[in-house]
Structure 1
């Protein structure tokens, strides 16, 4: 039986996932993994099957709620949606005004998260190493693809939703960055900001269909090839660090819907070269402090997740 504290923590985890998914290069799946809810999330999503919908359409709401693990999904999804709708402006503002500090925070968070995920592997061998390297390669290639220009037609918005949600539930693969590559990140941020019902509904439908389809594949892979799957996910996270590197120089720009020039392709720089290339301070001390903050946040979240798990096991015994 979940307590109010459990529901509140699930809501906060959802807020964390929603916040992460807004940032190109960071995945909500990473937050789900390091907070200890990843596999329960996949299993809950996969519970939406024919039996669940039969219960719903028979108005057996209590049985339907139990079947889909509603007590878990409701506070989590509420947190994700609230965060995505309310924090999008704040996070994009901070990334624009304080890029080195914010990217440093996420860089530290992803480094410690990848280590945390890798610790879940019970046995390392040549195949787990290859799985990890494969994940690194895929994520790295995704981060260096130049964003494209694509249509705003609803059919393409639907496809983008289906593709992006698949990335969002994979630790290390950023759904926001996939949208950036597909040329739809600014568009999706705009429709969320302006609350445009029709395109949001179409995008959301694509997300739902993609989510139900892809989550089953991930759950099957985790069940059948657990160590290899975890190694692959850890690789995804390591490979994504290329995108999250704090010191960048914009090389390619586009104009957003407000007529403002925004970068769509950036080159990573060493902190020592940042001043020469950009004329701005690399803020190394601040960057280190924010990386440490990212480290500490993951450690704290892990400790909280472990304490809750231990308390629940104690109450069940």
Structure 2
């Protein structure tokens, strides 16, 4: 006998829709420009995302882990509902899928066409400053001071005057904490943070190498080839989880209490980050007339792409 399961069909459609949201959000976060948080706002699930992320507490995690005991299963079910895993899981899988695809492309393009890629990123970032800055009001000495602080800080990092020492474990964890927490904030992209910290190409290459090594392992490849990039990925994930539980919450509190100042600071960070991709070009290419022309041309393409996207969705707002 066959049974109709319209609820199951609806569930599958909802999971597919949420997975598609994750693809959009992951693509945005993997490219410097529009943040995943802005995409969540545009698609209408930002409030649910923040509620689900901030629902993760040690108490709820412990309640879920104790669910094996019959007397504690009711509390475990309540904790699972509060964590909204039915939403977070397909969203997370979609984000990971997009990030892996983009990371593979970035790893390849960074080697073959660095001028085109980083020129394009420069245009994306510059255009995002304009689109996000339109909605801000800077009308007091405090606002001006905050804007100058954020811009100056980003410029110092972009110019490599203030930098992270190498790519050791602590640096990877720190980069993960800052970047992943930025992923759920409207206005600033996690990948932009990684570019600013000088970790974007390195981490994209490590993620791409890890995924390819896993595929090779299934067909008889070496476990050692998985271990090295896998360690980097695990460290980044640990940092990301830490960032979601700490930095993201701090910024959310700042947005709730001082929304205007916080948004000015975040957008000013983006403004100061405009030159950051250019340092990657300088590592592989001399600044000849040809290089400058190609970089400028691709920057224009990146800016047009972001302005076009803004037009299609009806405008971006940092929150």
TM-score normalised by the chain length of structure 2 = 0.68
Which secondary structure state, in structure 2, belongs to the residue aligned with residue 241 of structure 1?
coil
Q: Which residue of 2 aligns with 1:45?
A: 53
Aligned 1:179-194 pairs, distance under 5 A: 180=198, 185=203, 188-189=206-207, 190-191=209-210, 193-194=212-213
Q: Which residues in structure 2 correspond to 1:113-262 (within 5 Å)?
A: 113-121=128-136, 124-145=139-160, 150=166, 152=168, 157-166=172-181, 171=188, 174-177=192-195, 180=198, 185=203, 188-189=206-207, 190-191=209-210, 193-194=212-213, 195-196=226-227, 197-245=230-278, 248-250=281-283
* Secondary structure at the counterpart of residue 282 of structure 2: strand
Which residue of the partner structure matches residue 30 of structure 1?
A: 35
Shift in alpha-carbon separation, 1:121–1:212, aligned structure 2, 3 A: same
Aligned residues of 1:17 and 1:80 also touching (Cα < 8 A): no
Distance 2:276 2:184 in 1: 18
Kept in 1: contact 2:196–2:276 (CA 8 A)? no
When residues 284 and 87 of structure 1 are mapped into structure 2, their CA distance, relative to the original with a 3 A threshold, is closer
Distance 2:149 2:184 in 1: 18
Shift, 1:234, TM fit: 0.8
**Residues 133 and 235, structure 1, Cα contact 8 Å, conserved in 2:** yes
The RMSD of aligned alpha carbons is: 4.0
From the two aligned structures, give the one with the greater strand fraction: 1
> How much does 1:17 deviate?
3.7
**Residue aligning to 2:18:** 7
User: Structure 1 residues 69, 238: CA separation in 2 closer, same or farther (over 3 Å shift)?
Assistant: farther
Whole-Å separation in 2 of the counterparts to 1:246 and 1:295: 24
Q: Larger % of helix: which?
A: 2
Gaps of 5+ in 1: 21-25, 251-262, 307-317
Cross-structure match for 1:295: 307
Q: State the TM-score, normalized to the length of structure 1.
A: 0.68
Larger Rg: 2
What residue number does 2:127 align with?
Answer: 112
User: Which residues of structure 2 form unaligned runs of 5+?
Assistant: 1-9, 68-72, 214-225
